[in-house]
Structure 1
Amino acid sequence: MRVRKGRRQKADGGQGAEVRPEAPGATPGLAVELRGVRRQYGRGAGTVHALAGIDLGLRRGTFTAVMGPSGSGKSTFLQCAAGLDRPTAGSVRLGGTEITGMSENELTELRRSRLGFVFQAFNLLPSLTVEQNVLLPMRLAGQRQERRRAEEVLARVGLADKARRRPGELSGGQQQRVAVARALITAPDVIFADEPTGALDTGTAAEVLGLLRDAVDTLGATVVMVTHDPTAAAWADRVLFLADGAFADRLERGSAEGIAARMTALTSRAPREATAAGVTV
């Protein structure tokens, strides 16, 4: 996979904002970097090892899906990678910036200005218009709210005529399109998607996944998506499979059928066959 270097494009398709310098020790070209990341809950005999020493590097401008059986650590992985939860050990870098030691205020600022999120439940504010929901990350980050920018990203997701509507006036698929536009508005280092099609029918899900795919292919965005759906995962450049808090397998450009077969094989393995070996893709 060719590494995109030197510049990052904005969500409106124009020239990118200045690329931020890499932190000391960061690997150039990586949008997401986890080294020795562990997350455990509880103590003593009741300790749960949700992540068992993750080493992962995801290059800029790529689309990665993460799958695994229930309890494999998918949600914990996303939360630690996105700065929503703190690992018990190890380091996390996003866009070359070390986030592990950041304060809660610093993490909040980083999430607002440099990360995008798309969740299964849409998470739109019902009292705000579509345009206001899209501009919310810029407002919360104290940035200038550019209506022209909102118009451009709404046009990209096919909702140019819905800017003045409220979320309750839209279908579920349209609301998720608004969520994608909101994720794109700040031209983030990474877009994290957590089961983004879980509440959508098959046709609408394909439309939303096509938008995420287009963001990678035409805007140089980096997307990390947690999903249980092999059809959704097939839109990604690669699929990483988690088991018992460690990466157990990977598949490049897999079909839905091939991904489903890997998942079946994974769930039939003995628990200790998972490995925490490093992955850079």
Structure 2
Amino acid sequence: MGLRRKRYEDGDAVGSTTGPAVARQGPTGPVGDCAVELRGVRRQYGRGASAVHALRGIDLALPRGSFTAVMGPSGSGKSTFLQCAAGLDRPSGGTVSLGGTDITGMSENKLTALRRSRLGFVFQAFNLLPSLTVEQNVVLPMRLAGHRPDRRRAAAVLGQVGLDGLGRRRPGQLSGGQQQRVAIARALVTRPDVVFADEPTGALDTTTAAEVLGLLRQAVDGLGATVVMVTHDPAAAAWSDRVLFLADGSIIDHLERAPADRIAARMASLAAPSYSGAAA
């Protein structure tokens, strides 16, 4: 956690710009230069008495160059939130905008093209193709978007995540932490509007997890990336600028640049019986 602590004590990139501006306006209020904006987003599965309300009118605006963690009890709507925000699932109501583009009514083909060119994804399971080299995995979003792979860009991003010179190896020749670094490089290679991370440290040990989170933090501070991370781990959430807490499909609280123990305490309070019936 040393990297994060030093940054906020010194009051540089995050502490002096993004943080205070969002703290004054609140994480769900209007922000001028939004990377992610949800307005009245609802997601319902089924109908009638058996309907499941996974999201209940989410209003949220996240500025560019910010790192946001999303937490909540099991069944609070975290996964549904990420899927709707990233255009992987369509909301039942409301609007979603990414980088100023309203994606709510987009055709599936246009949504696919947008995800390939303007969004990055990091998952717990890495999702690397074992038959491809590290470099080929990194440039895959370029190929899928119909662009010629930029090997110089791939090499530069691999260098930024500490994998300089490993482009010709296969994923199976790398450690779990190195594979997640490849996944982060792949997420950053197209200079996306937003990187969505779903439990990115769930399969890693504590030390390796801290290294990966440091890379996501560096991507925000040094590269101007925007990261939205779903996690169950307070230690992981402590690397973010702000933590949003979901319960029963609604954002019920947030913390700004909070330490892990304070985040854990807030999570413990959400485990109370009143939230036990939350939606999936």
Q: TM-score scaled to structure 2, two decimals?
A: 0.87
Q: Distance in 2 between matches of 1:3 and 1:153?
A: 24
Counterpart in 1 of 2:85? Answer: 81
How much does 1:269 deviate?
6.2
Counterpart in 2 of 1:219? Answer: 223
Letter in 1 for 2:254: R
Q: Distance in 2 between matches of 1:35 and 1:90?
A: 6
Of the candidates 127, 134, 137, which is equivalent to residue 138 of structure 2?
Answer: 134
Q: Distance in 2 between matches of 1:207 and 1:268?
A: 33
Counterpart in 2 of 1:102? Answer: 106
How much does 1:3 deviate?
5.3
Identity of aligned residues (%): 76
Q: How does 1:29-48 map to 2 (within 5 A)?
A: 29-48=33-52
SS of residue in 1 equivalent to 2:139: helix
- Pair 1:67 & 2:82 matched: no
Of the candidates 163, 171, 174, which is equivalent to residue 175 of structure 2?
Answer: 171
Q: Distance in 1 between matches of 2:236 and 2:176?
A: 17
Q: How does 1:132-171 map to 2 (within 5 A)?
A: 132-171=136-175
Report if the CA contact (8 A) 1:27-1:96 is conserved: no
How much does 1:28 deviate?
3.4
Q: Distance in 1 between matches of 2:164 and 2:104?
A: 39
Letter in 2 for 1:187: R
Letter in 1 for 2:88: L
Report if the CA contact (8 A) 1:61-1:220 is conserved: yes
| Per-residue Cα deviation, 1:196-239 (whole angstroms, up to 9, x for no partner) | 00000000000000000000000110000000000000000010
Identify unmatched segments of 5+ residues in structure 1.
Answer: 5-25, 275-281
How much does 1:43 deviate?
1.1
Q: Distance in 2 between matches of 1:200 and 1:159?
A: 17
Of the candidates 179, 190, 196, which is equivalent to residue 194 of structure 2?
Answer: 190
The count of corresponding residues between Structure 1 and Structure 2 is 252
Higher helix share: 2
Identify unmatched segments of 5+ residues in structure 2.
Answer: 1-15, 20-29
Of the candidates 58, 65, 70, which is equivalent to residue 62 of structure 2?
Answer: 58
Counterpart in 1 of 2:17? Answer: 2
Q: Distance in 2 between matches of 1:194 and 1:271?
A: 22
Of the candidates 264, 267, 274, which is equivalent to residue 268 of structure 2?
Answer: 264
Of the candidates 160, 163, 180, which is equivalent to residue 184 of structure 2?
Answer: 180
Report if the CA contact (8 A) 1:118-1:180 is conserved: yes
Counterpart in 2 of 1:10? Answer: none
Counterpart in 1 of 2:27? Answer: none
Q: Distance in 1 between matches of 2:149 and 2:69?
A: 31
Q: Distance in 2 between matches of 1:191 and 1:169?
A: 26
SS of residue in 2 equivalent to 1:162: coil
Q: TM-score scaled to structure 1, two decimals?
A: 0.87
Report if the CA contact (8 A) 1:33-1:94 is conserved: yes
| Per-residue Cα deviation, 1:11-39 (whole angstroms, up to 9, x for no partner) | xxxxxxxxxxxxxxx96301000000000
| Per-residue Cα deviation, 1:26-83 (whole angstroms, up to 9, x for no partner) | 9630100000000000111110000000000001000000000000000000000000
| Per-residue Cα deviation, 1:150-171 (whole angstroms, up to 9, x for no partner) | 1100000111121000111111
Report if the CA contact (8 A) 1:116-1:184 is conserved: yes
Report if the CA contact (8 A) 2:31-2:63 is conserved: no
